[in-house]
Structure 1
């Protein structure tokens, strides 16, 4: 009797290995992981190389004299230095790549991370194998979020170091859109917002192609709105002066006008000085993280409501 009872009893399920769902995510999206790591490696090597060109590039931008003096080098010697052009172009390319990283991230998150798996039934299969749908989504988001934060943050730090003293003649003014995004936490926040918007689009459509398109469109709209209204995210500085006002190049001019009270010309300028870089970074990063958090919460709520 005891033997029959023991034989009839269902076999105990083996304890799941720790990190099983995480390994499954990395294995499923191995191609994207390899591409991301390769892109990080190439960008890191490029930034280290650009950093090594920095001093020579700055020499190429220095003042010169013909004939040379004891203070200034010969202009012929300075013009022969081509590192400044190579350096400036390289910095510009890296800045653009960091600034626009959210778009491929959003399209991938919508099309492959969630949309394709729901469309093909891979997600539903995972749910039947003792992996709760909400846990499935948590792992799906946590793994790429950690990789995006570490990778993008590391490249931003390397980019800041490669830019050296930030000479605007070489690397562009701090307020230029690509330069601004690629030199602060905004770059990471954009990537995370793209990930969350893509995941939400995948859950809404449950089909890869429409989800990728929707995620890309939402990211473009978000990027456009923040870039257009960036100067409004922090109070500007005002300056009044008789006649005209000469502002330094390193300030972001917002408005400039001249009035004629009592026949005397008074100029009024509002602008952001370089010291506003970090307040603008923090406010924009906060808005992006709020978008990411809202999209993530909406994704979990939508998935929970669809559960039986």
Structure 2
């Protein structure tokens, strides 16, 4: 009877350890969970406030007059509204920057605390002796924070887009600016997941907390800079020519512009006009027109989906590499 009781108790403990692994992850990293929750609540509060003061901010950004005959808002009232306008700009800008750079602290935490520290101090190895396989351990380590980060970042992005209202570039910045672009679409979520998996991979490679922080941060920074540099090449651009010289709308993401020569070649030199031909200018007789290479605002979503897809592919590869390394290093 006692033998059966002991076996039953041991079996229940094993099942509890396996089924409760996600809860163990949450409890072990509750400080990070509390910090994440507090940061998310702060972002929600700021964005709701930005939405509330949005109308006053737009009024402060518009023209004003001291004369009532013009029909423009009074400049006396605009003084107060301009202060709200500055607060709105700063609040929206700082929130967008925080969302676009969120992947970096996530990568550092994943490499240092989530994986590296537990391998360094032996906590992970102890868990593996409690009927929790290494692969199941890693799956829980990645799945739980991935779920929380995806849900929280998605909510923050949606609130951020909501708080921007009509996307007036004078208030919230042009859509193609890095911070604005990343923080207003699925790329923000994909970057966070890439940071999580790259950090975890760094932790498994180094098996130490501090080196994992540095390696995870460096890998994430390389991904971020590479996609930022080549963003204009992620979707086919629009090529436009015209005579005389024309101005693209502000909403156009300009990649290249210059002079189209009669020979069919393109150059970024300017027409010489009344000046003698020389370096930096071409004779007017050789100018056939002007050209521009750009992304219209309609390319926002194609660029977002391609960039997010690349970041998710990196996350998938990093995850696969992490499981492969763990399988090779454990019995």
Q: Give the TM-score of the pair, scaled to structure 1.
A: 0.95
Secondary structure of the 1:270 match is strand
Secondary structure of the 2:313 match is helix
Give the count of matched residue pairs: 304
Aligned to 1:237: 238
The Cα shift of 1:14 comes to 3.3
The Cα shift of 1:229 comes to 0.7
Q: In 2, Cα distance between the equivalents of 1:47 and 1:269?
A: 37
Q: In 2, Cα distance between the equivalents of 1:306 and 1:225?
A: 31
Q: In 2, Cα distance between the equivalents of 1:116 and 1:7?
A: 38
The farther-off stretch of 58-67 and 251-260 is: 58-67
1:130-141 aligned at under 5 Å gives the runs: 130-141=131-142
Aligned to 1:254: 255
Q: In 2, Cα distance between the equivalents of 1:114 and 1:105?
A: 12
Aligned to 2:77: 77
Q: In 2, Cα distance between the equivalents of 1:174 and 1:231?
A: 13
Aligned to 1:299: 322
Q: 2:290 aligns with which of 267, 278, 293?
A: 267
Gaps of 5+ in 2: 263-284
Q: Deviations over 1:193-214 (max 9, x none)?
A: 0000000010111000101100
Is 1:46 aligned to 2:46, yes or no?
Answer: yes
The Cα shift of 1:10 comes to 6.2
Q: In 2, Cα distance between the equivalents of 1:212 and 1:253?
A: 37
Secondary structure of the 2:69 match is coil
**CA, structure 1 residues 149+259, in 2 after alignment: closer, same or farther (shift >3 Å)?**
same
Contact between 2:149 and 2:192, CA under 8 Å: does it hold in 1? yes
Gaps of 5+ in 1: none
The Cα shift of 1:260 comes to 3.7
Q: Give the TM-score of the pair, scaled to structure 2.
A: 0.88
Q: Deviations over 1:42-86 (max 9, x none)?
A: 111110011101011011112223413363222333233111100
Aligned to 1:64: 64
Aligned to 1:116: 117
Secondary structure of the 2:198 match is helix
Q: In 1, Cα distance between the equivalents of 2:214 and 2:324?
A: 22
1:79-118 aligned at under 5 Å gives the runs: 79-81=79-81, 82-118=83-119
Contact between 2:54 and 2:88, CA under 8 Å: does it hold in 1? yes
Contact between 2:259 and 2:287, CA under 8 Å: does it hold in 1? no
